[in-house]
Amino acid sequence: MQIKIINKSSHTLPHYETMSSAGMDLRANISENIILEAMERAIVPTGLFIELPIGFEAQVRPRSGLAAKKGITVLNAPGTIDADYRGEIGVILVNLSKDTFVIENGERIAQLVIAKHERAEWEEAIVLSETSRGEGGFGSTGVK
C-alpha cells in the first residue's frame, strides 16, 4: 500500500527497521531541545503530514526502549490519526520518571503503525446474549 506523505523535517522518511516490524519510528523535528521534567508532557512535532486512505488509521505508539529505560511514553497511546486529518503529526510525550528528560532534534520518540479498521453500526437492543463471563469486569478472567 502506498500512502502520500509530505516531509517538512530534516530527517529521512519513517521506515520499517526489519521485514517483520509493525511500526516505523517517528523522529522529533524541533529547532530547540524540549526539556521534560518529571510528570510533564509536551506535544512534539515531527514535520510529517500524511494522507491515509479511508478505512485506515495511523496509530502513534510508545517506543518500548524509551518507556523501559527512561519512563517516557505516549500519553494517549495509541494516538489515532484519522484518514481525513491533514495536519502535522504531533506526539504527546509524558515523562513518568523522576528524572529530567531532554528531547533532541531527530530523536526517535514514538512508533507509527498503519492499521485497517472497520466502521460499526449500532443495533439497539433490550437484552444481550449470555456468556460464561457475564458482567465480570476488570480482572474477572484471571486466576484467583
Please tell me the predicted confidence (pLDDT) of residue 132.
85
User: What are 34-88's pLDDT values in tens digits?
Assistant: 999 999 999 999 999 999 999 999 999 999 999 999 999 999 999 999 999 999 9
Domain limits of the chain? 4-116
Please tell me the predicted confidence (pLDDT) of residue 144.
57
User: What are 14-38's pLDDT values in tens digits?
Assistant: 999 999 999 999 999 999 999 999 9
Q: Which residue has the cell 511514553?
A: 73
Listing DSSP states for 125-142 in one string gives: -S-----SSTT--TTTTS
CATH fourth-level superfamily of 4-116: Deoxyuridine triphosphatase (dUTPase) (2.70.40.10)
Number of H helices, E strands in the chain: 1, 11
DSSP strand E in 1-144: where? 4-7, 24-27, 34-36, 41-45, 48-51, 56-61, 72-74, 79-81, 90-95, 101-103, 108-116
pLDDT at 140 over 70: no
pLDDT, mean over the chain: 95
